[in-house]
Amino acid sequence: MTSSDSPVRDSFLVFGSPAIEEAEIQEVVATLRSGWLSTGPKTHLFEEEFRRYIGCHHALALNSCTAGLHLALDAIGVGEGDEVITTPVTFAATANVIVHHRAHPVFVDIRRDTMNIDPEQIEAKITPRTRAILPVHLAGRPCQMDAIMDIARRHNLFVVEDAAHAVEAEYQGQKVGTIGHITAFSFYVTKNVCTGEGGMVTTENDDWAEEMRLRSLHGISKDAWKRYSAEGYQPYETIYPGYKFNMMDIQASLGIHQLARVEENHRVRERWWHRYNEAFSEMPELITPLEEEGIRHSRHLYTILIRPERLQIDRDQFVEALKEENIGTGIHFTTLHLHAYYRQTFGFRRGDFPNAEFVSDRTISLPLSAKLTERDVDDVVAAVRKVSDRYRR
């Protein structure tokens, strides 16, 4: 696979490198100097700013999107023997949190064009043990939430949205984060809003919001974070054996400014997205992302599918060839039902979810960040074309 000519780039283009600016750096420094590093006033400011941006009633800042999903399943009462319907094309955390509740993940195949869970296949998987549907807005493309919410209403199910990729996303004019019963967002280092590690959970339900806040910090009573403040010692009780899921003010210091630029950065990624579409849409070796009416894509991931029947190499070899051109990529995702734990525990095998496998075998995520320059994007385009030309059948 080694090329005899020079790579497209002299230096490696890291996939998913975040756009961190001076405002974030100064805010973190100010937080360090303040002496209040863990959950405190900046975390609560970030929650309020995020709540206003989404348009929801409650937003709780956490140490990860995974924590948000875990608390959501806690709040709606998922327990041993329950079933939660979700997609196999997602990060392991989506299904892992179901397993952690001693429930069973029930996978439903995706649509090939959207790569999201196929609502038309959901009802066939509903049983008396089904408790919830957990759709994943893959790459930042909203799922068909009208159909999913209709199914949930008719079967008395909860909907917990995995919006790790979807901070800016909207479905039929409604913000993701206000549609399902509870929604979890990610601020991981590669995400559109980045706090290094971190997440947020949103809901309209007052009781769930209070329960999730309580359980997110050891299950100790309200405003426990203030117990070391200038107000002095604050008595507290452990009301529930909770978790250590809280966000730190250091993280929130990043998030405040990342969120302030979220729309500006979305416009930059939108520009790179259309540049990729223009370059790749007429290449017979590739399938480019579907453009849909009625949604706002968050433009988190730009995913192409290779057509192996038109190439002399498979997806993994294509990725390796791009690496030799100094272009970093991602795989989102290797379908979960083919991972060892899920195969061995639940008996899944190849052939169970053909559309998920089709995407899993072919998908490549290209660099898409507000940090990219015009030259970076041109290099990605040149590298993809170079590899496609070299290995075309």
Residue 250 placed within a domain: yes
Rounded to whole angstroms, the Cα distance separating 205 from 202 reads 9
Which of 260, 285, 313 is the endpoint of a domain?
A: 260
Residue 303 placed within a domain: yes
pTM of the model: 0.96
Which three-class secondary structure string do you get for 105-174?
EEECCECCCCCCECHHHCHHHCCCCEEEEECECHHHCCCCHHHHHHHHHHHCCEEEEEECCCCCCEECCE
Look at residue 229 in the predicted model and tell me its pLDDT. Answer: 60
Answer yes or no: do 239 and 276 share one domain.
no
Look at residue 235 in the predicted model and tell me its pLDDT. Answer: 75
Closest C-alpha to 389, from 323, 312, 302, 298: 312
Which of 260, 275, 306 is the endpoint of a domain?
A: 260
Written as tens digits, the pLDDT of the chain (393 aa) is 444 589 999 999 999 999 999 999 999 999 999 999 999 999 999 999 999 999 999 999 999 999 999 999 999 999 999 999 999 999 999 999 999 999 999 999 999 999 999 999 999 999 999 999 999 999 999 999 999 999 999 999 999 999 999 999 999 999 999 999 999 999 999 999 999 999 999 999 999 999 999 999 999 876 655 665 666 666 788 999 999 999 999 999 999 999 999 999 999 999 999 999 999 999 999 999 999 999 999 999 999 999 999 999 999 999 999 999 999 999 999 999 999 999 999 999 999 999 999 999 999 999 999 999 999 999 999 999 999 999 999
- Asked about 191 being catalytic, the answer comes back as yes
Residue 15 placed within a domain: no
Closest C-alpha to 224, from 234, 210, 213: 234
Q: Which of 191, 226, 244, 371 is catalytic?
A: 191
b/e map of 176-208 (b: 16 or more CB within 10 Å)?
A: bbbbbbbbbbbbbebbbbbbebbbbbbbeeeeb
CATH number, domain containing residue 385: 3.90.1150.10
| Neighbouring-strand partners of residue 327 | 13
Cα four-point dihedral sign 293, 299, 302, 305: negative
- Residue 341's φ and ψ, nearest 5 degrees, are -60, -45
Answer yes or no: do 184 and 328 share one domain.
no
CB of 182 closer than 8 Å to CB of 174: no
Q: Per the structure, how many domains does the chain have?
A: 2
Answer yes or no: do 127 and 226 share one domain.
yes
Which of 210, 234, 260 is the endpoint of a domain?
A: 260
| Domain that residue 160 falls in | 22-260
Answer yes or no: do 141 and 168 share one domain.
yes
Answer yes or no: do 256 and 272 share one domain.
no
Look at residue 1 in the predicted model and tell me its pLDDT. Answer: 47
